Structure 1
């Protein structure tokens, strides 16, 4: 894995987490948006990001380049600066579907660059988990940096500081990240055919990932209130729980890079999803911090596994369309976040905090089933990119002048 790419992912993650942790507070307390206006803004921004990221992914597959990632981060940085001076809601909406939405392409573009730079071999299987651990580390540090900036200079300074970080990241990508290798439109290295994923399988895979992250984000809405209001824990305990989860995510993603290549990635992902169901069970059964902390350990492992192994799975089964594969996974995550805003708020109002967590557990079960069905066609063999390409050796001539058949030919 290129260390320059790790630095780029770290910078993007820090900027993203600085803004993401305080974005709602900024637009409501500083800009003055109502809850309805905020919901519309977030939904439109998410939809615009999905579209722009998809277009960038298709462009990357046609001609791999660093410019997509750099441009998306630079546009995002400009958008954050403009948000601190724009007061018109109409202009904010326009910003949400243009410059700000462009930032959604940065994450999948960096991971597509990582896959393209190492090629379709075993190194690719290690690069994604390692970069995912860097992303988790950034999200562990970013909110603390944002809190410090807010205490010193106020809310607008968070967005401006994040904008500067994004601009630095954009320049870094263009200067330090190696140019991606040539595109291989005809197939995988060695002339292997490209795996064609059936449309039904693609829908099931995407649905599974979307529902998983819907449950994750919706639970993040209910968890703090469940811990403080249902269990009577202190506000600081919520911070402890989320810190435990973030730390476990980093370690789990690093360990995932050491998983042997012959271990089924399908099994790894489904185990992660199943573990997420177990997290909800531990949480609703908790009466004190003991089970809550244990649940966050399981949660951190599950998020790391699905987040890292899931990207690799999409890249493998859709090879060599690396840009579209990574973007499809990222867009499924974004769609889950958008759905969670609606589902989480409505569920808390109708079902309460415990009921919302149980609903999220049920959604995760459906996500696991959908992903299992979507991957069933690939369960019997490794994804095409999991086997490194080998250059064919010249075959000896047999007694009759014909080429001797190798053991692989006879199998």
Structure 2
């Protein structure tokens, strides 16, 4: 791996455990997320508006739960135990989706389980940041290599998800996801470290914990929210757009997601290696500019070959913002890794809220093509806001 080649560090057991857990949890998530819109549309049989609403409600619940858990985790307790609990909820969520097709049940019980389960990943990255700080490891590359495991998981997950769902049914797909989460729980219990943290005062205001008083944190949160709004609108709409409007095979959606994830790996590793020379701000601006080109390309080019080629820009966009964006939050909020990582994750959740409402309304009222014009416009706004955040 690039980090080992450039630093000469040897792989130890704890480091390997972090990589394995992030990969397995990434695969389990990548089995469920790419096919969710198809699942709701075909299995639960709801209209596009209700598909988008599901994403929105899920994200709103996730923000509240993750913020509360993040504040507790930064003050007290074993972060590893919290991650294990979140994995257990992820198992329950996958089993619910495997055997239930009632929209309101999924929107209530499913959303509650998912909101806790989705906290596992930011907490895992917060634990990794604390471990890297305590063990004097190079934080940027540690985080980038760990984030690369998620991209590797997304190389495998989406094509596998569409293959399982289309050939063996959604029940089989969700059961496999539940099994992977259960295995992750076992690895976490026996392999990840418990890292002591400096406790935060119990009466610290939420705005101080979250860093919201800092103008740069606010701007970065807004920019990150819009970045993930664009990405999520694409993820929700693309599988439906591929088959409904473009007349291309359903499995192409999984191939496109897997291709982008594969290309993200070198993008994020190179970003982690060069970030000290280039700077986080300049690198993030470059990433968002690549996103603008990607979304503009979706408006103009609709062949299979063109869509595959455009994934290069998508990979640069997501590969950099997913890794460097989180580190930018952490650097702007020193000493509050859990809150900073969760704020980054909540920018994703807020983006999902906006994406669910906008995609559902636009697709139902004006068709899928209007969705991509909206995404392209949002990406331009995002580019401007990103340039206003200070470098660290």
Alpha-carbon contact 1:217-1:337 (below 8 Å) kept: yes
TM-score (norm 1): 0.79
**Matching residue of 1:74:** 88
Q: Give the counterpart of 2:185 among 124, 145, 170.
A: 170
Residues 1:171 and 1:274: Cα distance change in structure 2 (over 3 Å): same
Map 1:48-197 to 2 at 5 A: 48-63=61-76, 65-86=79-100, 90-119=104-133, 123-150=138-165, 153-183=168-198
Structure 1: distance between partners of 2:199 and 2:133: 10
Task: Find the residue that maps to 1:198 and give its secondary structure.
Answer: coil
Query: How has the CA–CA distance of structure 1 residues 98 and 154 changed in structure 2, closer, same or farther, with 3 Å as cutoff?
Result: same
Further displaced range: 341-350 or 256-265: 341-350
SS in 1 for 2:118: helix
Contact conserved, 2:221 with 2:344, CA < 8 A, in 1?
yes
Deviation at 1:71, TM superposition (A): 0.7
| Cα pair 2:164 2:172 within 8 Å, conserved | yes
Deviation at 1:326, TM superposition (A): 0.6
Q: Judge conservation of contact 1:284–1:358 (CA < 8 Å) in 2.
A: yes
1:176-205 Cα offsets, whole Å, 9 max, x none, are 11222433759xxxxxxx996634333221
- Aligned to 2:79, the other structure's residue is in SS state coil
* 1:8 aligned to which of 1, 21, 36: 21
Instruction: Say if 1:197 and 1:317, in contact at 8 Å, map to a contact too.
Output: no
Q: Following TM superposition, by how much is the alpha carbon of 1:75 offset from its aligned partner in structure 2, in angstroms?
A: 1.1
Structure 2 partner of 1:242: 257
User: 2:349 maps to what in 1?
Assistant: 334
**Structure 2 CA distance, aligned partners of 1:307 and 1:313?**
10
The aligned length equals: 370
1:22 paired residue number: 35
Is the 2:24–2:180 contact (alpha carbons within 8 Å) kept by the matching residues of 1? Answer: yes
Higher helix share: 2
2:228 aligned partner: 213
* Contact residue 280 and residue 328 of structure 2 kept, 8 A: yes
Q: Is the 8 A contact 1:117 1:181 kept in 2?
A: no
Q: CA–CA distance in 2 between the matches of 1:97 and 1:288?
A: 36
Residues 157 and 258, structure 2, Cα contact 8 Å, conserved in 1: no
Equivalent-residue separation in structure 1 for 2:380 and 2:25 (angstroms): 32
Rounded to whole Å, the distance in 1 between the matches of 2:304 and 2:193 is: 46
Computed over aligned residues only, the root mean square deviation of the Cα atoms, in angstroms, reads: 3.1
Find the aligned partners of 1:289 and 1:27 in 2 and give their Cα distance. Answer: 25
Render the CA deviation track for 1:221-272: whole Å, top value 9, x for unaligned.
5556766777776666555543332211122122223215243111111110
2:10 aligned partner: none
**Given that residues 158 and 257 in structure 2 are in contact (C-alpha distance below 8 angstroms), is that contact kept between their aligned partners in structure 1?**
no
CA gap 1:11/1:366 in 2 versus in 1, 3 angstroms: same
Unaligned runs of 5+ in 2: 1-13, 202-208
Q: 56, 59, 70: which is aligned to 1:43?
A: 56
TM-score, normalised to structure 2, is 0.83
The 3-state SS of whatever aligns with 1:320 is: coil
CA offsets per residue over residues 331-375 of structure 1, 9 Å max, x none? 1112212321221233345555554323212201111222332x2
Q: CA deviation at 1:109?
A: 0.7
Tell me, in whole angstroms, the C-alpha distance in 2 between the residues paired with 1:266 and 1:208: 12
